[in-house]
Amino acid sequence: MVNAVTSEKIFPMNVNFVDLRAQDAPIRDKLDQAVAAVLDKGNFILGEDVTQFEEEFAAFCGTSYAVGVNSGLSALQLTLIAHGIGPGDEVIIPAHTFVATAAAVTFAGARPVLVDIAPDTYNLDVTQIAVAITPRTKAIMPVHLYGRPADMEPIMALAQAHNLIVVEDAAQAHGAVYHGKRTGSLGHAAGFSFYPAKNLGASGDSGIVVTSDAGIAGRIRALRNCGQFEKNRHDLAPYNCRMDTIQAAMLRVRLTQLDTWNTARRQHARLYNALLAGSSVKLPLVDDDSDSTAVWHLYVIRVAERDALRAYLSEHGIGTGIHYPLPVHLQPVYKSLGYRAGDFPVAERCTQQVLSLPMHPHLTREEIEYVAGPIMSFLAR
Ligand SMILES: *Cc1c(COP(=O)(O)O)cnc(C)c1O
């Protein structure tokens, strides 16, 4: 690793939070060829690569259908709309997630009903879902946060008992496995994001819905393309949420690497946990077994003096992130939902303490060891 020189300091090492160029370097020729082939054909929207990628991604997830769209947010929003969810309906989501989870619900015209998270997994606290169900509840949208599958078995049981749809927000969990099945195949439908920094990322925005329900897949195909089941006849709301062919072509190349990349992320998480064991930071669970595996979109520790540690790591050339600094109910835009500080204590405490360390497939052992050093010295002050 080359030394990085800034105006003030020379770091022994610079460790990026993510490194998309390192990820693409070994497959650059294939990406270039894929893009060139699309330029040659000139079929830029919903072209052949989109159809082929949909088939490949559905097969990867273990679902019958996939429908490519323009973002993860659109994937979730159109999935709710395709299920007939809208004004007057409630959708249960975790209080600690990226804002797009809630936005998908509000953009469908429905109301997000928040539930606190479990402190060890950062996912929906399944023991608190039942009390949030009302006669207006139509769906539960669990998030596989940080790449760890939500506890889907009790969620599906509750949904069945109350006749609810389950839409997985799988935007951070491409390839994660829960009881032998891939995320995306666990609920009635799922939305994935291909934002560049996700485990599988485009070179721009895009997303996809996966489902084994032919009717829902067909409705989303129509919704994404101006509400058309047939050309020039607009039966449904005329959204434009189409997927670009160039993104699909590049995603097809990167999908061939995804399992290898996820395996590397898992190894990095184990190494971090080993290096930080015995310290006072709360480490993420590494509870992978043969039939359930997280894919470590983010490696998130919890520490009381989070902001001071973050600044200290920055001084050492180490990039970090906070996912997320505010829970959904305290975001200004969602004030109107009527929640207050104190309503979701676990989520609120987590947002003050979580710190995401560098995590991407091409981290080296040397880099991870370097990151652990200043964390240990900070805690030993
Ligand atoms: C990234 C993300 C989304 C939204 O995806 P976009 O492609 O950015 O619209 C939704 N939910 C979660 C949990 C995410 O991390």
State the closest ligand 1 atom to the C-alpha of 104, by its place in the atom list counted from 1: 10
pLDDT surpasses 80 at 11: no
Peptide bond between residue 324 and the one before it cis (omega within 30 degrees of 0): yes
Distance from Cα 331 to the centre of ligand 1, integer Å: 16
| Average pLDDT rounded to a whole number, residues 228-253 | 97
Tell me, yes or no, whether 236 and 278 share the same domain: no
Q: Residue 22: CA atoms inside 13 Å, Cβ hemisphere, count?
A: 14
**Any idea what the Cα angle at residue 297 is, between residues 296 and 302, rounded to 5°?**
70
- The CATH number that applies at residue 333 is 3.90.1150.10
Check pocket membership of 195 for ligand 1, CB cut-off 6 A. yes
Tokens of 60: 């990867």
Q: Count Cβ atoms below 10 Å from residue 135 Cβ, excluding itself.
A: 6
Q: Where are the alpha helices (DSSP H) in 147-257?
A: 152-162, 214-224, 245-255
Domain carrying residue 37: 24-255
pLDDT band at residue 1 using 50, 70 and 90 as cut-offs: very low
Tell me, yes or no, whether 194 and 287 share the same domain: no
| Average pLDDT rounded to a whole number, residues 46-54 | 98
Pick from 18, 70, 73, 243 the residue to mutate for probing ligand 1's pocket: most ligand atoms within 8 Å of its CB.
Answer: 73
Q: In the prediction, which pLDDT does 176 show?
A: 98
Express each pLDDT in 67-77 by its tens digit.
999 999 999 99
Check pocket membership of 78 for ligand 1, CB cut-off 6 A. no
Check pocket membership of 193 for ligand 1, CB cut-off 6 A. yes
Does residue 10 lie within any of the structural domains?
no
Instruction: Name the amino acid, one letter, at 62.
Output: G
Pairing of strands 189-193, 165-169: parallel
Does residue 13 lie within any of the structural domains?
no
Tell me, yes or no, whether 263 and 249 share the same domain: no
pLDDT band at residue 10 using 50, 70 and 90 as cut-offs: low
Q: If DSSP codes are grouped into helix, strand and coil, which group holds residue 182? A: strand
Check pocket membership of 239 for ligand 1, CB cut-off 6 A. no
Tell me, yes or no, whether 206 and 135 share the same domain: yes
pLDDT band at residue 289 using 50, 70 and 90 as cut-offs: confident
Tell me, yes or no, whether 212 and 271 share the same domain: no
pLDDT surpasses 90 at 362: yes
CA atoms of 258 and 241, how far apart (whole Å): 25
Phi/psi zone of residue 278: left (φ > 0), alpha (ψ -120 to 50 degrees), beta? left
Domain total of the chain: 2
Q: In the prediction, which pLDDT does 6 show?
A: 46
Mean pLDDT, the chain, as a whole number?
96
Check pocket membership of 172 for ligand 1, CB cut-off 6 A. yes
Tokens of 359: 């995590």
Answer yes or no: are the C-beta atoms of 148 and 97 closer than 8 Å. Answer: no
Domain-ending residue, one of 203, 238, 255: 255
Tokens of 330: 């305290």
Tell me, yes or no, whether 237 and 271 share the same domain: no
Tell me, yes or no, whether 156 and 293 share the same domain: no
Q: In the prediction, which pLDDT does 377 show?
A: 95
**Structure letter (DSSP) for residue 17:** S
Answer yes or no: are the C-beta atoms of 27 and 227 closer than 8 Å. Answer: no
pLDDT band at residue 12 using 50, 70 and 90 as cut-offs: confident
Answer yes or no: are the C-beta atoms of 15 and 318 closer than 8 Å. Answer: yes
Check pocket membership of 293 for ligand 1, CB cut-off 6 A. no
Distance from Cα 195 to the centre of ligand 1, integer Å: 7
Tell me, yes or no, whether 220 and 327 share the same domain: no
State the closest ligand 1 atom to the C-alpha of 143, by its place in the atom list counted from 1: 13
Express each pLDDT in 100-154 by its tens digit.
999 999 999 999 999 999 999 999 999 999 999 999 999 999 999 999 999 999 9
Express each pLDDT in 299-347 by its tens digit.
999 999 999 999 999 999 999 999 999 999 999 999 999 999 999 999 9
pLDDT surpasses 50 at 4: no
Q: What is the pTM (predicted TM-score) of this model?
A: 0.96
pLDDT surpasses 70 at 83: yes
Q: Exposed (0-12), middle (13-18) or buried (19+): which is 6, by Cβ within 10 Å? A: exposed
Does residue 17 lie within any of the structural domains?
no
**Structure letter (DSSP) for residue 316:** T
State the closest ligand 1 atom to the C-alpha of 73, by its place in the atom list counted from 1: 9
Residue with tokens 């089941």: 229
Domain-ending residue, one of 255, 271, 303: 255
The closest residue, in CA terms, to atom 7 on ligand 1 is 72
Express each pLDDT in 192-232 by its tens digit.
999 999 999 999 999 999 999 999 999 999 999 999 999 99
Q: In the prediction, which pLDDT does 288 show?
A: 67
Distance from Cα 262 to the centre of ligand 1, integer Å: 18
Q: In the prediction, which pLDDT does 5 show?
A: 45
Tell me, yes or no, whether 225 and 79 share the same domain: yes
The closest residue, in CA terms, to atom 14 on ligand 1 is 171
Tell me, yes or no, whether 186 and 124 share the same domain: yes
Instruction: Name the amino acid, one letter, at 307.
Output: D
Does residue 3 lie within any of the structural domains?
no
Distance from Cα 71 to the centre of ligand 1, integer Å: 8
Check pocket membership of 370 for ligand 1, CB cut-off 6 A. no
Tell me, yes or no, whether 200 and 318 share the same domain: no
pLDDT band at residue 3 using 50, 70 and 90 as cut-offs: very low
Domain-ending residue, one of 221, 255, 289: 255
Instruction: Name the amino acid, one letter, at 3.
Output: N
pLDDT band at residue 372 using 50, 70 and 90 as cut-offs: very high
Q: If DSSP codes are grouped into helix, strand and coil, which group holds residue 168? A: strand
The percentage of residues in the chain with a pLDDT greater than 70, rounded to a whole number, is: 97
Distance from Cα 194 to the centre of ligand 1, integer Å: 8
